[in-house]
Amino acid sequence: MAKEIDQKEFRNVLGSFVTGITVVTTRTLDGELIGFTANSFTSVSLDPPLILVCLARSSGNLEAFQNSSGFAVNILSVDQRDISNTFASKVPDRFAGLDVTTAATGSPILNDCVAWLDCEMYEILDGGDHIIMLGRVVDFEDHEKNPLGYHRSAYVNFGLSKDAAIAAEHADSATAVGALLEHDGKILLFKDENGQLDLPAAQHVGGDDGLLEKLAAIGLEAEIGFLFAVFEDPKRGGTFTCYRGTTHGEINSDEAAWFDLNDIPFAKIDDAAVSSMVRRYIEDRKIDAFGLFTGDSESDNVGILSD
Ligand SMILES: Cc1cc2nc3c(=O)[nH]c(=O)nc-3n(C[C@H](O)[C@H](O)[C@H](O)COP(=O)(O)O)c2cc1C
């Protein structure tokens, strides 16, 4: 018998698959430029050259894409988080202020992408609450930039590992590692004796007095995942490398607690760099692969290292 599918669990399991992010664009019959953020882009066939993208039937752009003879897939670079946010949001003109060129099918190409593929509409297939747009690729360009990644509703910067290694190698001051650990919409913060809050942090991940040991001491077994940020932290007096991660277990100490992502007491986080990074994490978490985006992204001001 088929397993009863819980929507939330289903979305979570789909989010475990790491993807890039694209903006799929077209020009309507009236000449209007439209587009949406999509991570459902997949390669399909080499001969003929086919790719696919799924578009929600609930999209305000459904009819325009169904009537279009072509579309372009713009693969976003790590510097294009804001563009991803804009094309997933309800702003009236998603192209405002953007430089675009026009591809052979008439579809707009966004400047500074990692790569783009211009496609003729080959076939539109039924995909349940989505349509599956099969595109026949007629032109493409590849600029080999660092791509923007996506995993479990958060952006991933694959270039950060290299930056962290360089920062550690050249550190003339102490380095620290920390973790943004999320559980049920809450993140873990440690409290000091003055009631100030901070992310769990240590001089290194494993070993004696390491981050994992510090977490184990309060009852949590942690799994360290993707790198989230690497930055100079004036308060800590060195480079702070922050990972995302998950935990198992129950907190058995007053030293730390889970704080709701919608209700973080920022006044009690006196490390401005950490506070800024947590704010960025919260903004990123509002983005959801199935269109639950609710706000504008906040500008990056923690000096995230990138290429
Ligand atoms: C990372 C990310 C990936 C997304 N992938 C898709 C997708 O593959 N297909 C889709 O229809 N919507 C996807 N969305 C949602 C759309 O971008 C967004 O909900 C939609 O453009 C909302 O506006 P609309 O109703 O005017 O189309 C994604 C959103 C984000 C943030």
Tell me: the pLDDT tens digits for 214-240?
A: 999 999 999 998 889 988 888 888 889
Which residues have any ligand 1 atom within 6 Å of their CB? 21, 36-40, 54-56, 59-61, 87-88, 150, 287, 289, 291, 293
Q: Give the Å distance between the CA of 103 and the centre of ligand 1.
A: 22
Q: Which atom of ligand 1 is nearest the CA belonging to 153?
A: 1
Measured CA to CA, the distance from residue 307 to residue 296 in angstroms comes to 24
Q: Is pLDDT of 83 > 60?
A: yes
**Probe target for ligand 1 pocket from 19, 55, 74, 290, with the most ligand atoms within 8 Å of CB:** 290
Q: What mean pLDDT is predicted for residues 9-30?
A: 93
3-class DSSP assignment, residue 273: helix
Q: Is pLDDT of 288 > 90?
A: no
* Residue 247 pLDDT grade (very low, low, confident, very high; cuts 50, 70, 90): very high
Q: pTM score, two decimals?
A: 0.83
Tell me: the pLDDT tens digits for 119-149?
A: 999 999 999 999 999 999 999 999 989 999 9
Q: Which two tokens stand for residue 52?
A: 């696919």
One CATH from 3.20.20.140, 2.30.110.10, 3.40.50.300, 1.10.10.10 for 17-150: 2.30.110.10
Q: Per residue in 65-104, is it b (16+ CB within 10 Å) or e — as a string?
A: beebebbbbbbbbbbbbebbbbbbbeeeebbeebebeebe
pLDDT (0 to 100) of residue 184: 85
Nearest residue (by CA) to ligand 1, atom 27, is 59
Q: Give the Å distance between the CA of 123 and the centre of ligand 1.
A: 20
Q: Is pLDDT of 296 > 50?
A: no
pLDDT (0 to 100) of residue 304: 39
Tell me, what DSSP letter sits at residue 77? Answer: B
Q: Give the Å distance between the CA of 41 and the centre of ligand 1.
A: 12
Q: Which atom of ligand 1 is nearest the CA belonging to 56?
A: 11
Neighbouring CB atoms inside 10 A of 54's CB total 19
Answer with the residue of higher pLDDT: 159 or 60.
Answer: 60
Nearest residue (by CA) to ligand 1, atom 20, is 88
Q: Tell me what the pLDDT averaged over the chain comes to.
A: 88
Q: Give the Å distance between the CA of 55 and the centre of ligand 1.
A: 7
Q: Which residues contact 129 (CB under 8 A, 6 or more apart)?
A: 56, 57, 58
Nearest residue (by CA) to ligand 1, atom 1, is 289
Q: Give the Å distance between the CA of 39 and the centre of ligand 1.
A: 8
pLDDT (0 to 100) of residue 173: 58
Are 98 and 13 spatial neighbours (Cβ–Cβ below 8 Å)? no
Q: Give the Å distance between the CA of 287 and the centre of ligand 1.
A: 10
Lowest mean pLDDT among 195-199, 205-209, 217-221, 284-288: 284-288
Answer with the residue of higher pLDDT: 296 or 260.
Answer: 260
* Residue 37 pLDDT grade (very low, low, confident, very high; cuts 50, 70, 90): very high
Nearest residue (by CA) to ligand 1, atom 25, is 59
Measured CA to CA, the distance from residue 48 to residue 26 in angstroms comes to 21
Tell me: the pLDDT tens digits for 158-177?
A: 888 776 777 666 666 568 99
**Probe target for ligand 1 pocket from 24, 59, 95, with the most ligand atoms within 8 Å of CB:** 59
Q: Which atom of ligand 1 is nearest the CA belonging to 53?
A: 8
Q: Which two tokens stand for residue 90?
A: 């309800």
**Probe target for ligand 1 pocket from 23, 34, 36, 78, with the most ligand atoms within 8 Å of CB:** 36
CATH number of 153-285: 3.90.79.10
**Probe target for ligand 1 pocket from 37, 53, 283, 284, with the most ligand atoms within 8 Å of CB:** 37
Helical ranges in the chain per DSSP H: 7-15, 62-66, 81-87, 160-169, 211-217, 272-285
Domain ranges of the chain: 17-150, 153-285
Nearest residue (by CA) to ligand 1, atom 10, is 55
Q: What mean pLDDT is predicted for residues 288-297?
A: 35
Measured CA to CA, the distance from residue 57 to residue 42 in angstroms comes to 19
Identical fold, 17-150 and 153-285:
no
